[in-house]
Chains A and B, each alone.
Chain A
Amino acid sequence: MNANAWGQRLRRLLRWESLLLLVLVAVTAGNALLSPYFLDATTLSDASFNFTEKALIALPMALLIIAREIDVSVAAIVALASVAMGFGAAAGWPTPLLALTGVATGGLAGAVNGLLVTTLRVPSIVATIGTMSLFRGIAYGILGDRVLKDYPAGFGVFGQGYAFALVSNELLLFVLAALAVGVLLHATTAGRRIYAIGANPTAALMSGVAVDRYRRWLFIATGLASGCASVLLTSRLASTRPTIAQGWELEVISMVILGGVSVAGGVGTILGVVLAAAILGFVTFGLGLQNIPGIVLSIFVGALLIVVVALPIVGARWRARRAQRPTSAGA
């Protein structure tokens, strides 16, 4: 009702994001100290490739986790879509059709996940563990130990092209997508309903929200994003291997959780996810410049994940102990 209340609310909302911003600044500073080349515009542009593809998937994944679901099959969907595109390329399909194939394959796979969770009532963690093996397995089965490389020259525009100056197509696409998803989540009725579903699915249902329909579409969206990411990745690598995007699901989920989205649902912002994606991307790239292998980076990511989720819990306990207020048993 007054400026103070507004300020309070804003502060509460952005506490996590402010922390992330600090970490991002620290990471950038650290990288700049370690390597004089880091702050170079070209370098920063190259750094973006490390996270744009995963971050693209992280956007709908964030919506999914806010709605109290999860999808660990995203990396497998990337692989499947890539295989589909590889075969299309071998058959001589034109670039636009290839891209469409990739995205459509992703969407279909997402629809399968949605079906399992909403119609067949399988808990999403278990359902997507199953489809993860299924999709990746199909990719392996079809490809064997081959590598598909017959992509047309024009196909590289997605993953290797630049929109203008040093901004790559990938980065531009990601920024546009982040803006779109951000608007969706924070400014539309659909976004508000997603929050409600995550915060209290029963109450949301009783308030007229078509809970199952939203869930289904979120899984399809995640599939489509995975398909898109597959287009970008395959285009950048100009090849398809069955091991493509191995382990990405955990990086994407880490990005989302690091971004402040709670596994319990109902909480999180797109800004946080974007910041977390940038942090992880810069760290990966920075370590790469130092010739530190990616596996060491994962230690950092894992530790960061645990610390970042533990901090609010520890903080709340510490504050409660200081206040010495006895907790009421509640009516």
Chain B
Amino acid sequence: MSRGMHDLLRRLRHSRDAGLALLTALLLLALAARFSAFRDVASLAGLFDDTAILILLALGQMLVIVTRGIDLSVAANVALSGMAVALLNHAHPALPAPLLVLLATLLGLLLGLCNGLLVWRLGMPPIVVTLGTMAIFRGAVYLLSGGAWVTSDKMTPAFQSLMRHTALGLTLLSWLALLAVAMLALWLHYARTGRRLYMAGGNPSAAAYLGIEAGRMQCLAFTVSGALAGLCGYLWVTRYAVAYTDVAQGFELQVIAACVIGGVSVAGGVGTVAGVLLGCLFLGLIRNALPLAGISPFWQMAVSGAVITVAVVLNARRGAQRRRHILEADAA
């Protein structure tokens, strides 16, 4: 037992997630010491609720980045899926909300599949593909809505309030995020396909030796990311009770940032659900602390930008420790 503890402590000391967890905990403690809001369980639950959508999207993005891809179209996907179900809800108020949730997820899945097929079948670079689909999806939102907004009064109460029901102090939205975290963590740990994602991203040629097709794994990642984005489309429009063309504009970069802070490497093959969760919480804490600290909302972007920049530098330094030789620096 003593050897097991010793091993555990040694692994924790070297673990990147442990470092981030410690940092996040310290941040929380520091904030709780300063602001009463962070001592109140109810407002902490509210904070988690606030971060739930970021968590769901970041989980999907993690899969894409682990397989050496990047998905710039997630935010546009959110907007399109959200608008679609909002309009549907407006036109057919009788449709049950859970069905609309399903439809949003399905639409998102199809959009993600488009990305995945272009990357897999045509071998196109993910950045180019998602740059294009980002513009297409966003434009499609406009076409669908004609530029009009779907405001709260045009949506049914049932549609809007589904995720606001609470259980044990947390909203359904928060539970959904926790469920996604748990499911994905289990899948990545226990399923063969989950492990294959890491292999395909970590060393594609070695993975090819084992019969794993890197392109197919990327396609899978994009599809799951799309499905989560579709789900978040519904979640977003109901949380903010409005659907319009610019929903989640620019949010994809926050999502990517959360992943990078959480230790996901753009080189592929590296990243944990725990890390991503922590990255999101870290960003969420900062975002919620700023107004309390009297920092105007206008400075929030700068602060999170600074945090992101520092995080990527630290990440890069960590990777660079293994490289001594001048030649290897260009091998990445």
Check if B253 sits within 8 Å of A132, measured CB to CB: yes
User: With A and B bound together, what is the CA distance between A296 and B135 in angstroms?
Assistant: 9
Q: Which of B127, B128, B136, B305 has the most CB of A within 10 A?
A: B305
Which residues on the B side are within 8 Å of A211 (C-beta)?
Answer: 330
Given contacts A123-B316, A141-B298, contact A133 B143 (CB under 8 A): no
For the complex formed, measure the closest distance between the CB of B198 and the CB atoms of chain A, giving whole angstroms.
19
Check if A137 sits within 8 Å of B305, measured CB to CB: yes
| Contact stretch, chosen from A2-10, A228-236, A307-315 | A307-315
Interface assignment of A116: CB less than 8 Å from any CB of chain B: yes
User: With A and B bound together, what is the CA distance between A92 and B128 in angstroms?
Assistant: 44
B interface, how many residues as a size bin?
Answer: 35 or more
Given contacts A129-B257, A140-B302, contact A309 B128 (CB under 8 A): yes
Interface of chain B residues 111 through 146 with chain A (CB within 8 A): 118, 122-125, 127-129, 131-136, 138-143
Given contacts A137-B304, A264-B125, A313-B123, contact A254 B139 (CB under 8 A): no
| Contact stretch, chosen from B173-181, B218-226, B307-315 | B307-315
For the complex formed, measure the closest distance between the CB of A9 and the CB atoms of chain B, giving whole angstroms.
26
Q: Is the interface of B mostly helix, strand, loop or mixed?
A: helix
Check if A141 sits within 8 Å of B296, measured CB to CB: yes
Interface assignment of A40: CB less than 8 Å from any CB of chain B: no
Check if B139 sits within 8 Å of A295, measured CB to CB: yes
| Contact stretch, chosen from A24-32, A160-168, A298-306, A322-330 | A298-306
Given contacts A120-B313, A133-B305, contact A205 B135 (CB under 8 A): no
Check if A131 sits within 8 Å of B305, measured CB to CB: yes
Chain A window 131-166, contacts with chain B (Cβ cutoff 8 Å), 1 for yes, 0 for no: 111111110110111000000000000000000000
Which residues on the A side are within 8 Å of B140 (C-beta)?
Answer: 299
Interface assignment of A257: CB less than 8 Å from any CB of chain B: yes
Q: Which of B134, B319, B330 has the most CB of A within 10 A?
A: B330
User: With A and B bound together, what is the CA distance between A250 and B200 in angstroms?
Assistant: 29
Given contacts A293-B147, A295-B139, A299-B135, contact A123 B266 (CB under 8 A): yes
Check if A250 sits within 8 Å of B134, measured CB to CB: yes
Interface assignment of B329: CB less than 8 Å from any CB of chain A: yes
Check if B308 sits within 8 Å of A140, measured CB to CB: no
For the complex formed, measure the closest distance between the CB of A167 and the CB atoms of chain B, giving whole angstroms.
31
Check if B298 sits within 8 Å of A303, measured CB to CB: no
User: With A and B bound together, what is the CA distance between A120 and B124 in angstroms?
Assistant: 29
Given contacts A126-B312, A130-B312, A133-B257, contact A293 B296 (CB under 8 A): no
Chain B window 283-303, contacts with chain A (Cβ cutoff 8 Å), 1 for yes, 0 for no: 000000000000010111111
Q: Which of B123, B135, B139, B300 has the most CB of A within 10 A?
A: B135
Interface of chain A residues 273 through 319 with chain B (CB within 8 A): 293, 295-303, 305-306, 309-310, 313-314
Check if A130 sits within 8 Å of B257, measured CB to CB: yes
For the complex formed, measure the closest distance between the CB of B79 and the CB atoms of chain A, giving whole angstroms.
11
Check if A121 sits within 8 Å of B301, measured CB to CB: no
Check if A263 sits within 8 Å of B125, measured CB to CB: yes
Could you say which of A133, A242, A253 contacts B304, with CB atoms under 8 Å apart?
A133
Check if A302 sits within 8 Å of B135, measured CB to CB: yes
Which residues on the B side are within 8 Å of A135 (C-beta)?
Answer: 305
Check if B132 sits within 8 Å of A305, measured CB to CB: yes
Check if A302 sits within 8 Å of B332, measured CB to CB: no
Given contacts A129-B256, A140-B299, contact A263 B128 (CB under 8 A): yes
For the complex formed, measure the closest distance between the CB of A18 and the CB atoms of chain B, giving whole angstroms.
21
Supplied contacts A123-B267, A306-B118, 6 more A-B pairs, CB within 8 Å? A141-B302, A205-B326, A257-B128, A296-B139, A296-B142, A302-B136
A residues engaging B (CB < 8 A)?
70, 116, 120-123, 125-127, 129-138, 140-141, 143-145, 201-202, 205, 211, 242, 250, 253-254, 257, 263-264, 293, 295-303, 305-306, 309-310, 313-314
B residues engaging A (CB < 8 A)?
70, 72, 118, 122-125, 127-129, 131-136, 138-143, 147, 245, 253, 256-257, 260, 266-267, 296, 298-306, 308-309, 311-313, 315-317, 319-320, 326-327, 329-332
